[in-house]
Each structure stands twice: as structure tokens, then as C-alpha cells.
Amino acid sequence: MTAYIIRRLLLLPVLLVGVTIIIFAMLQFLTPVERSALYVRDIPHTEGAIEGIIKRYGLDEPLPVQYWRWLVGRIDPVTGERVGGVLRGDLGWSRVGSQSVINLIKQRFPATLELALWAVGPIILIGLWLGVKAAVNHNKPFDQISRILAIFASSFPVFVFGLLVLMIFYANLRWFPPGRISDWANVVISSGEFRTYTHLITVDALLNGRFDIFLDALRHLILPILTLSYVNWATFLRVTRSSMLETLRQDYVTTARAKGVAERDVINKHARPNALIPVATLAGFQVVGLLGGVVITETVFTYPGVGSAAAAAAQQLDVVTVLGLALFNGFILIVANLIVDILYAVIDPRVRLA
């Protein structure tokens, strides 16, 4: 167990350095002027200003030096302050967001987190239920139909599905609007009386005792949750089903049946817990994937999270912002994946001993 965790921990710095190198390499596709957004907000349109900034922030230094400066920041020769440095959390200036990239993340991340937290439950519970049910009914209609539907689901791009459900449930029926919150609720939230605790609107609304705002936020969340769910259900269905089928073939399941244990107990008590072990990793990775911001889903539903911010910045070629968001994304995923891997070792002795 310890050896496994140590081996896994050794990979951590490799991944972290690797991701920073990828992002830094991408920055090199920009001209020095474009890269100056890492350090300054605007470049004055005067003669020689550009050259001055390139000199001042060392944007023409050798690459290894620039890489190091990009990581830890540099001392501004004029003001004497330390500027930049992605490891200090200074990811540069976002032209599209008209604020620093790190502020943009602080502002957008709660929305992404809220969506992820709400989506996890339906994805995992219903996905598992489908998979177990399909395996128990192996080769019966439920299995066949759910399998066909799973192929359909994985062929259905999220943006097509998203537009279709918006067309039906918003444009036609006016049930579930896009966005994160209605205007009237937004007015209440920005007023002084509404106290912000967590920046998760649903939670804050409950803490403030504003049930109407809670419901309004939930109304906006339903379609994104549905969209995130159907794709993941297909994956869960496939993995749970094959794992469950595998387990049902084991000798101890036959033994249980031979002893005369009721079929329901055989499935629920003997087979399912063991079948869920590989599914647990999948669940971990899916949740982690949600945290990274879901670019397309957020964009379709104009949901103001990290993902839609990245898409908007990419569309307007605000590369410093996109790369900043991607770096943040990468760091979150690396750490979260590490946690998932270690938890996996904790629940499955076979991984520990291997």
C-alpha cells in the first residue's frame, strides 16, 4: 500500500511540470507583444512602448529563463515589485473578462462547482442502477434496449442534445431557462440583505431562508444536469454491466446460490459490492472531469462557469486567458486524480498488493 502510494506520489511532480511545460510551449506560439498580457494590462500606443515592455519583462530572454520567470514571477525593474508567476497564482490579464485571470477563476469556479455537485448524484446513482439492472437481465429486452440506447447516447454530441432540450423545454414550454439565475433573483442576491456564504447559489439561498431563489437556481440547473448525465450514464452502464456480469460468474456467487440464498440477496449482498470496485474509479474520474469545467455544456446553456469562460476567451483569441484557465484545469485534475487513485487502492486490496 505504502509502496503504491509512494509510486503514485512520484508521478505527481512529473505531471505538474509536464502540464506547465505544455502550456508554456503553447505561449511560445504568441508574439512577445501578445505574451506581455501575462504582466501588463494595456500597451500604450506610443512609439517604442512595445520594445520597452519586451525589455522590461524580459520577453526576449532565452526560453529556460523565461520559463522559470513565468513560474515564479519576476521583479519589475521600474516599480521593484514582483509581477507574474503562475505558481503565485498570477496568470496574467484577461482581455475578455477585463480582470485578472485568477479573479475570473474565483468568480466563475463556484458556478462550475455547484453544477458538478448537483450532477454527481443523478449520474452515479442512475448510472449504477442501469448497469446492474442490465447485467441481471443479461440478454433480455432491458439489456438489449439499454445497450442500443447507450450507443445512441454516445453518438449524440452534447451540444446537439443541449440545443434540442433547450428547444423543447425552454423555447417551446418555457420551463427551464438557460443561464444560472433569473434577473429578479440576481437583484436580490446582489442586494445587501442576501448574505453570501459559499457562492453556491442553491446553498446560500437555503442558508438565507430564500426558498424561491433556491428553486429558481435549481430550475436553471436541471437541463445542464440532464445533459451531463446522459453521456455519463452510457459509460456507467457499460462499465457496471460488464463488471457485474464478470462478478456473477464467480464461484462464490454460485456457492451462494447453491446454499439457497435468495436471488435478491445474491445480487445485492454478494455480487454488487464487488462489482462496484472498478466502477468506483470511473465514478471518481467522471466527477473530477466535471470539476474541470464542462466547456460545451456550460456554453450551450450560457452557464457562467470556468468552461464557458474558456470557450468565450478561445473564440475571441484571448490566448493568455485560455491558457491560464487550462493550467488551472490541469492542476485541479492532477490533484483530484491522485486522490481518486489512492482511494481506489484503499477500497481494492488487489491494487494495493500488485
Interaction between residue 104 and another protein (CB under 8 A): no
Cβ 5 to another protein shortest distance, Å? 17
Cβ 178 to another protein shortest distance, Å? 6
Interaction between residue 120 and another protein (CB under 8 A): no
Which residues inside 162-221 make contact with another protein, applying CB under 8 A? Answer: 163-164, 166-167, 170-172, 178
- How far is residue 202's CA from residue 2's CA, in Å, rounded to a whole number? 40
Is the separation of the CB atoms in 257 and 334 below 8 Å?
no
Give the residue among 227, 114, 229, 235 at the shortest CA–CA distance from 163: 227
Q: Please enumerate, as own/partner, the contacts of 79-87 that have beta carbons within 8 Å and a separation of 24 or more.
A: 83/39, 83/57, 84/38, 84/39, 84/57, 86/20, 86/324, 86/327
Interaction between residue 79 and another protein (CB under 8 A): no
SS3 160: helix
- How far is residue 342's CA from residue 281's CA, in Å, rounded to a whole number? 10
100 DSSP β-pair partners: 93
Which residues inside 281-310 make contact with another protein, applying CB under 8 A? Answer: 289, 292-293, 295-296, 299-300, 302, 307, 310
Residue placing its CB nearer to another protein in the complex, 166 or 217: 166
Stretch that binds another protein, among 55-63, 81-89, 196-204, 314-322 (CB under 8 A): 314-322
Cβ 128 to another protein shortest distance, Å? 22
Residue placing its CB nearer to another protein in the complex, 213 or 313: 313
CA dihedral sign of residues 250, 255, 256, 258 = positive
Site string for another protein, 137-156 (x = CB under 8 A): -----------x--xx-xxx
The CA R_g of the chain, rounded to the nearest whole Å, is 25
Interaction between residue 65 and another protein (CB under 8 A): no
- The widest CA-to-CA distance across the chain, in whole angstroms, is 89
- Which parts of this chain interact with another protein (CB under 8 A)? 11, 14-15, 18-19, 21-23, 26, 29-30, 34, 148, 151-152, 154-160, 163-164, 166-167, 170-172, 178, 289, 292-293, 295-296, 299-300, 302, 307, 310-311, 313-315, 317, 319, 322-323, 326, 329-330, 333-334
